Amino acid sequence: MTQAIRTRNRSHSQEWFERAQQSLVEGVNSPSRGAAVYSPAPIILERGHRSRVWDADGNEYVDFMMSFGALIQGHAHPTLIEAVTDAMAGGSHFAAATSAEIEAAERFRRMVPSAEVVRFTNTGSEATMLALRLARAHTGRRKFLKFEGHYHGWYDPFLLNAHSHPPEQLGSVENPARIPDSAGIPPSTFVDVVLAPWNDVNSLEQVIRLHGKELAAVITEPIMANMGCILPDDGYLQRMRELTHDCGALLILDEVVTGFRYAPGGCQEYYRVEPDLSTFGKALGAGFPVGAVAGPRSILERMRWSDNMVLHYGTFNGHRLTMKVVAANLDMLAAEDTYRKLYGTGNAAITGLRQVFQRRGVRAIVQGFGPMFQIYFTERVAIHDYRDYCTYVDAKRYSKFVHQLLDLGIYMTPSNGLHWIISTAHTHADIELLLDAADQACSVLA
């Protein structure tokens, strides 16, 4: 077996992080990157190439976080470097109509089954925000349903029960406790939010019976990706489709994580479910900030200029340089064999990790398939929903395990709520390094 890459010291990272305290809150630009997650301090990353990253001390890591899934082609893919360099030479952005955005949109439509038309945003958060506004305008209804443990970005009304909490705080399945994820949001924001447990057909039927006629939309992640990686039960998404159709609420499939990952057309293609609207981000931009809302002309046309239009402005919408990257990225993803390779590498990692835990007698499961998965330290055979995650997953043990992996040259966030990402840049040699490091890291769990 290949020997894991051992990191040496992190003194330069420490120095940078101390310096960062003067200028940045917590020394970072997002709480998920700081010392609350990485102990005692985050590793300052300086460079990336294909599946590898290097920190400020020159330590090398195989990266399995891949910018929270954005880097589907790995770091610094030569085709994308060329696309960016050529585009930049002609001007980064005009905030005007361009052929670049048309070419990106054409490729997008060819790949995503439900995309009659598409509107590009700059982030996944902007995409979900816009989808909700469109749904409200289209239906003339105010309320929407979101599920416990689903994250749809940091827009106010979505920030309810997106984080995990101790089980005793969750309330009952019939009447879940409503826990805001952020200070600074007026309680009135949540008046229009109906909250329900996910992956539970009975409670979905019940909540639709009670509120269906008032709902503008039901928004769901097709695979629950912000409590690790939790798959929908067979038929669950299809039943959600039927129920939303019957009550006149739009089904918004939030494919910000799953889009272009599980299939060229995302989970809507994989699970054969047709949403009214779907949202994208992350893998779409291969590392560049972009999001998208896709759907039928009859809904998206609400944004057409008129007295009663749905407003969506943005200086950087359809950013020229980003659109060039999107087009080049989608061309690579559309190539034959891309997904077979992603699945092959990912499934090798999943099978290998399961074998490591079994061999080392560690009670852990690896959930997911192909290009995305998560490890749960648990006595359970599966984690089925948010409540299972809050009750049965040992997130501290996971953090300890991942910190050990970081010392062994594997880069991953110690946050159990995220997930391992396989990019087209990962090789079977990378997986061997991971498995060897995982084997060694099991020693700290004994």
220 near ligand PLP, judged by CB under 6 A: no
Name which of 256 and 375 has its Cβ closer to ligand PLP: 256
286 binding ligand PLP? (CB under 6 A): no
- Within 10 angstroms of residue 158's Cβ, the number of other Cβ atoms is 22
Nearer Cβ to ligand PLP (30/85): 30
The least distance separating ligand PLP from the CB of residue 379, rounded to whole angstroms, comes to 27
Q: Residue 374's beta-bridge partner residues?
A: 367
Burial tier of 11 (Cβ tally within 10 Å: 0-12, 13-18, 19+): exposed
The residue among 355, 362, 360 whose CA lies nearest residue 377 is 362
Contact residues for 166 (Cβ-Cβ < 8 A; gap 6+): 390
Tokens 């835990």 -> residue: 357
Show the tokens assigned to 385.
Answer: 């929903």
Residue 29 beta carbon to ligand PLP: minimum distance, rounded to whole angstroms: 12
Is residue 236 a contact residue for ligand PLP (CB under 6 A)? no
Residue in 346, 276, 285, 296 with CA at minimum distance from that of residue 132: 276
User: Using the rule CB under 6 A, is 256 a contact of ligand PLP?
Assistant: yes
CB 226 within 8 Å of CB 413: no
CA distance 119 to 330: 16
Closest distance to ligand PLP from the beta carbon of 291 (Å): 6
Our finding on whether 275 is near ligand PLP (CB under 6 A) is no
String of contacts with ligand PLP for each residue 31-70, x by CB under 6 A:
-------------------------------------x--
Q: How far is the CB of 150 from ligand PLP (least distance, A)?
A: 7
At which residue do the structure tokens 């399945």 appear? 173
Instruction: Rule CB under 6 A: choose which of 257, 321, 325, 425 binds ligand PLP.
Output: 257
Residue type, 415: S
Contact between 265 and ligand PLP by CB under 6 A: the answer reads no
User: Is residue 160 a contact partner of residue 190, using CB atoms and an 8 Å limit?
Assistant: yes
Give the Cα separation of 206 and 81 in Å (integer). 51
Q: Is 226 in the site for ligand PLP (CB under 6 A)?
A: yes
Under the criterion CB under 6 A, does residue 261 sit at the interface with ligand PLP?
no
Residues written for the chain:
446
- Contacting ligand PLP (CB under 6 A), which of 197, 212, 265, 281? 281
Q: Which of residues 96-155 bind ligand PLP (CB under 6 A)?
A: 123-125, 128, 151-153
DSSP calls for 73-135: T-BS-HHHHHHHHHHHHT-S--SS--HHHHHHHHHHHHH-TT-SEEEEESSHHHHHHHHHHHH
Binding of ligand PLP at residue 196 (CB under 6 A)?
A: no
| Nearest distance, CB of residue 257 and ligand PLP, angstroms | 5
Question: Does 225 participate in binding ligand PLP (rule CB under 6 A)?
Answer: yes
- Binding positions for ligand PLP, rule: CB under 6 A: 68, 123-125, 128, 151-153, 221, 225-226, 254, 256-257, 281, 291
